[in-house]
Structure 1
Amino acid sequence: MPELPEVETTRRGIAPHVDAATVTELIVREPRLRWPIPGDLPQRVQGQPLLALERRAKYLLFRFPAGTLIVHLGMSGTLRALTEAFPPEKHDHVDIVFDNGRRLRFRDPRRFGAILWQDGDPLTHPLLATLGPEPLSAHFDTDHLATLLARRQSAVKQVIMDNHVVVGVGNIYASESLFRARVDPRRPASSLKRDEVDRLTTSVKETLADAIAQGGSTLRDFVDSDGRAGYFLLQCYAYGRDGEPCRVCGNTIQQIRQGQRATFFCPSCQH
């Protein structure tokens, strides 16, 4: 599933190909995504110059003078820049065609993605309005996280995966951040001391920044690609390593279930 680093890599990969270009056509082959694509969307974006391509959490925001196109990749979606009109395949549901000869092609085999429109400020859209701060921003700091953790008795891993607390900390990145911070994922959120919250805040930022940096080598895969390349995985210390020796202490990595998700941790390194 595309997570925040993958979405940010997508944004960086396609932005240079459509920056300041004008939409000449929006082709909808399959409108039945997670929410139906608005029927008047082609008319809304036709003739609109792209002012900026931004990201909020896992949403891509295409800002136009008349409003904002909000794109979510769902569980299986990809967005690629094409240099010519290659024949669409079965799951290529939408093309955004620009006047510079480029087109963005949205592919989504499971159709859990979304392409929506918002007049005015896109951050007021119901899907975005209640989101927590961006993890790599100054708004996500020790004070913010400490305040929210102190109110919660739930396991700390579940809390940092809550998009109302901070966006973009998916299952992989939660396990890796907690490992780096040396915090047991099973601990009640309110039990963390100030120095532990400080370590966790820093580790969340570093883990996501590292994942985005590793994605830099895949940027070329967002042009004329079949959509199967371009995503990446950290050199994980915990996630997916059940039964393997810890890279730090040599003890065995364990796996448990939390909130229907697999959690990986080292019982020696994480307390």
Structure 2
Amino acid sequence: MPELPEVETVRRGLQPAMENARIDSVETRRPDLRFPLPEGMEGALAGRRIEALGRRAKYLLVELDNGQVLGCHLGMSGSFRVEDPEASETPGAFRHARSKDSAHDHVVFHLMSADGTARRVIYNDPRRFGFMFLTSRESLDGNPFLRKLGLEPTGNALDGKALAATLAGRRTTLKAALLDQKTVAGLGNIYVCEALWRAGLSPKRTAATLARKDGMPTDRCVRLADAVRDVIADAIAAGGSSLRDHIRTDGTLGYFQHSFSVYDREGQPCPRDGCDGTIRRIVQSGRSTFHCPTCQK
């Protein structure tokens, strides 16, 4: 499933085509994806201008001029592509195969940009695990999909003190706590493994050990908050990890996976200077965890 950096990469790729464009019409080629598409979606969006394209955790947020917001989740294999009269195919060289089968083009947005260029933004999803919802801007924070999400890892809100407050008293493992979207929004398996390695912390460590008795952060907690922010920032700058189905909207792939320190590197030497350990894979709650047992404590 795409993680936050992948979704942010998609948002930035769609932004030039979608922001300030008018939605002339919307085609919904099936009634549902993971969930039913919003009732009356075609009529609700037609004629509206897109004021902004935002993101909350792994959700794309299309903000309209009437105060409505279309939320989009990519699920396992969802992707967007932009087509205009000059390019009917998505350009780019692909490291991993993705669907170009129009049978999986489930939602098509017909847009008219401010400069008069007509474009189509097409949502393709072979596995149909993505979904869309409509809500108002005023109701966004209370939306069932968004209301329990934790801190965003892309701004200053995530620091040692804030992270300690979410981990205090939690007897679960640190890996499990970070995968909980109520702790840090948008983190998935890849970047949790990478952040824990950067912070030098074992994925098996008890989450509560990162908060002192008075609720203040330990030095480990401060290191982890910094590591989460840094690894997400690095992945966004590189265009997302692009594993399996993820591509940028211009058709190219990001290559942050080439910089992975532990993820999917089982049996390889730990890349930390001065560490002679070997990357190991363990299974936690059915998910693969990659870590160095020598330097991650």
Do these two structures clear the TM 0.5 threshold for a shared fold by scoring above it? yes
Asked whether the 8 Å contact 1:79–1:105 carries over to 2, the reply is yes
Q: State the alpha-carbon separation in 1 of the partners of residues 227 and 241 from structure 2.
A: 22
Percentage identity across aligned positions? 41
Q: Which moved more, 1:36-45 or 1:76-85?
A: 76-85
Asked whether the 8 Å contact 2:54–2:60 carries over to 1, the reply is yes
Paired residue for 1:139?
157
Cα distance change of structure 1 residues 47 and 170 upon mapping to structure 2, 3 Å threshold: same
Runs of 5+ consecutive residues of structure 1 not aligned to the other structure:
none
Q: For 1:166-200, what per-residue CA distance to the aligned partner results, in whole angstroms no more than 9, with x for missing partners?
A: 11110000000000000011010112360000000
Q: State the alpha-carbon separation in 2 of the partners of residues 217 and 188 from structure 1.
A: 28
Paired residue for 1:179?
197
Q: For 1:135-167, what per-residue CA distance to the aligned partner results, in whole angstroms no more than 9, with x for missing partners?
A: 112221111111221220100011011110111
Paired residue for 1:83?
84
Q: For 1:2-52, what per-residue CA distance to the aligned partner results, in whole angstroms no more than 9, with x for missing partners?
A: 110000000001101122011001001122211111231000000000010
Q: State the alpha-carbon separation in 1 of the partners of residues 266 and 253 from structure 2.
A: 26
Q: State the alpha-carbon separation in 2 of the partners of residues 150 and 216 from structure 1.
A: 31
Asked whether the 8 Å contact 1:23–1:46 carries over to 2, the reply is yes
Q: State the alpha-carbon separation in 2 of the partners of residues 14 and 216 from structure 1.
A: 15
Paired residue for 2:121?
104
Q: Give the secondary-structure state (helix, strand or coil) at the position aligned to 1:102.
A: strand
- Residues 1:159 and 2:177 are matched in the alignment: yes
Q: State the alpha-carbon separation in 2 of the partners of residues 221 and 171 from structure 1.
A: 20
Q: Which moved more, 1:27-36 or 1:42-51?
A: 27-36
- Residues 1:92 and 2:115 are matched in the alignment: no
Paired residue for 1:41?
41
Paired residue for 2:64?
64
CA drift of 1:244 comes to 1.0
Asked whether the 8 Å contact 1:182–1:270 carries over to 2, the reply is yes
- Residues 1:27 and 2:27 are matched in the alignment: yes
Asked whether the 8 Å contact 2:105–2:124 carries over to 1, the reply is yes
Q: State the alpha-carbon separation in 2 of the partners of residues 150 and 213 from structure 1.
A: 32
AA partner of residue 63 (structure 1): E
Q: Give the secondary-structure state (helix, strand or coil) at the position aligned to 2:128.
A: coil
Asked whether the 8 Å contact 1:179–1:237 carries over to 2, the reply is yes
Asked whether the 8 Å contact 1:18–1:102 carries over to 2, the reply is no
Asked whether the 8 Å contact 1:8–1:212 carries over to 2, the reply is yes
CA drift of 1:102 comes to 1.4
Q: State the alpha-carbon separation in 2 of the partners of residues 242 and 146 from structure 1.
A: 30
Asked whether the 8 Å contact 1:181–1:199 carries over to 2, the reply is yes
Q: Give the secondary-structure state (helix, strand or coil) at the position aligned to 2:102.
A: coil
- Aligned 1:192-207 pairs, distance under 5 A: 192=210, 194-207=218-231
Q: State the alpha-carbon separation in 2 of the partners of residues 18 and 144 from structure 1.
A: 34
Q: Give the secondary-structure state (helix, strand or coil) at the position aligned to 1:222.
A: coil
Q: For 1:193-234, what per-residue CA distance to the aligned partner results, in whole angstroms no more than 9, with x for missing partners?
A: 60000000000000000000000899x9513x4xxx535443
Cα distance change of structure 1 residues 114 and 48 upon mapping to structure 2, 3 Å threshold: same
Q: Give the secondary-structure state (helix, strand or coil) at the position aligned to 2:170.
A: coil
Runs of 4+ in 1 over 6 A off after TM superposition: none
Cα distance change of structure 1 residues 163 and 221 upon mapping to structure 2, 3 Å threshold: closer
